Structure 1
């Protein structure tokens, strides 16, 4: 079974659009997302355009602020803090990566936790770790939404996560093991011994390490669900994931393609978080 993130994300956007239309907002305005784009990174420019388009499709207003790559650290933090204080803004997205020389975490932590639609502030990461209500990181939330859409349960399953970043690896490990999900999770990294053997034990294998076609067929247990978070550009310009897709497909019971798998789901969860933040702020 190919897990179609593109089609699933489109269904989520449609449901969000209906939800935004039906919600009686006291302010009389739709959700509004502020995007901060620093520098001229071509990939970031594409990602922001895709997010703007998805927001429009879901009935969310976007305001994109473009800043020079040489903006001083203090000025960028102050600008983000001003968006946090702006009552007309419901969500703030700081497009990553930032240009060299800028410290990412202080900029992220200048975002108010209630507007942190990427779920990356220390507060929201802590709420994720404690399994308390809060805005969750978009890619892990997108993975779970895709599994739910296809009726793939994780209760009692053994999940193996490759990669321990705060963007994907650590939070998805916590979210899979949380009460109500109840998977047994192994979090792997570059120093995990006999990695292939650990991967072969997985009922659900999640690859998020940024190495093209790293997961080969001999690392996959027959019948496993394989989630490929990676997106890598090859020398010929083509995109591929962290999984050797063509050779792994025969062994997997379900698998995500690249592109068209987790990427669209990440954006859809950004929209879900924005609408959630908007609704909570409207009813205060």
Structure 2
């Protein structure tokens, strides 16, 4: 068996297109332009690239983009004061503080200072609680992207056995909650799971989000299962002066021989994260103005 490749890059482009169409209608019919504010503290090169990409795609979708770049030694008080101003700004519908923050800043304190209604990352403790209890919440972007890919491939997920490998607050835990909401039978596996290979082998859906390069091999996969690989790991170059190889948490070649469908790395889940950030900003805007939420772009 050779797996169907789930093209996250193409689907993310479709999602961004749908966001753009809805934004255009908001402008024309309601005079509203969604606004996304991204806060970057310090000069981490990877974060800077990511923030530039977010800003570009925000503008391309017809939204307003507000970037706030602060020096690495910014005090906690100054950062919290900026968040307070963004919370109070009616032109800002979504707020994202780029992580990780410099070590002297308390990430939990900063995240929980964001207005939950503008928390487009879905990390605020109120949104975490709302998601866990099945209420309307802002949902973390990467798990939302995974859910969209699964719904697009399967249609209904009801009754399927799903294993999420990883229990992080950013992906593993919210992913499990979203799958439960779609009536999957969900197991969360992690580094302490006994006989993890056998646990994964029973799954119709495998979401690998553990952060270990090519940990999941083809002999872990149930024939015909759908594999969503969230991992992004760079392997060292094979020879001096060469370029490192980007791989996921799943050994793609062996898994693709067994699975029914699989996301590649790169080009799978990654592009969906920013697309869902835009979708969340649009959703937050609609909720703030009491308008109908965009169909197919929420959990």
- The residue number in structure 2 matching 1:157 is 160
What is the CA distance between 1:109 and its match in structure 2? 0.5
1:42, CA displacement in angstroms? 1.0
1:242 aligns with 2:249: yes
Deviation at 1:103, TM superposition (A): 1.4
Equivalent residue number for residue 102 of structure 1: 105
Would the aligned equivalents of 1:26 and 1:282 in 2 still touch at CA under 8 Å? no
Report how far residue 203 of structure 1 moved. 0.7
* d(CA) in 2 for partners of 1:162, 1:152: 22
Deviation at 1:279, TM superposition (A): 1.8
Alignment partners' CA distance in 1, 2:151 and 2:56: 25
Segments of 5+ residues of structure 1 without an aligned counterpart are: none
Runs (4+) of structure 1 moved beyond 6 Å? none
Q: Does 1:17 align with 2:13?
A: no
SS of residue in 2 equivalent to 1:23: helix
2:172 pairs with 1:169: yes
Deviation at residue 151 of structure 1 after TM alignment: 3.3
TM-score calculated relative to the size of structure 2: 0.91
For the pair 1:272 / 2:279, whether they are aligned, the reply is yes
Alpha carbons 2:151, 2:157 under 8 Å: kept: no
Ranges in structure 2 where 5+ consecutive residues have no aligned partner? 238-243, 292-299
> Conserved in 1, the CA contact under 8 Å of 2:122 and 2:141?
yes
Q: Which residue of 2 aligns with 1:215?
A: 216
**Partner residue in 1 for 2:116:** 113
Q: Report the more deviating stretch, 157-166 or 235-244.
A: 235-244
Q: Distance in 1 between matches of 2:41 and 2:234?
A: 22
Q: How far did residue 78 of structure 1 move? A: 2.2
Contact 1:26 1:283 in 2 (8 A): no
Deviations 1:118-155 (A, max 9, x none): 11100001110011012111111111111122234321
Residues 64-213 of structure 1 mapped to structure 2, 5 A cutoff:
64-178=67-181, 181-213=182-214
RMSD (Å) for aligned C-alpha atoms: 1.5
* Partner Cα separation in structure 2 for residue 113 and residue 235 of structure 1: 40
User: 2-side partners of 1:144 and 1:202: how far apart?
Assistant: 16
Contact 2:26-2:32 within 8 A present in 1 as well: no
Deviation at 1:55, TM superposition (A): 1.2
Distance 1:152 1:217 in 2: 25
Count, aligned residues: 282
Alignment partners' CA distance in 1, 2:22 and 2:167: 34
CA drift at 1:29? 4.0
Alpha-carbon distance, 1:75 to partner: 2.0
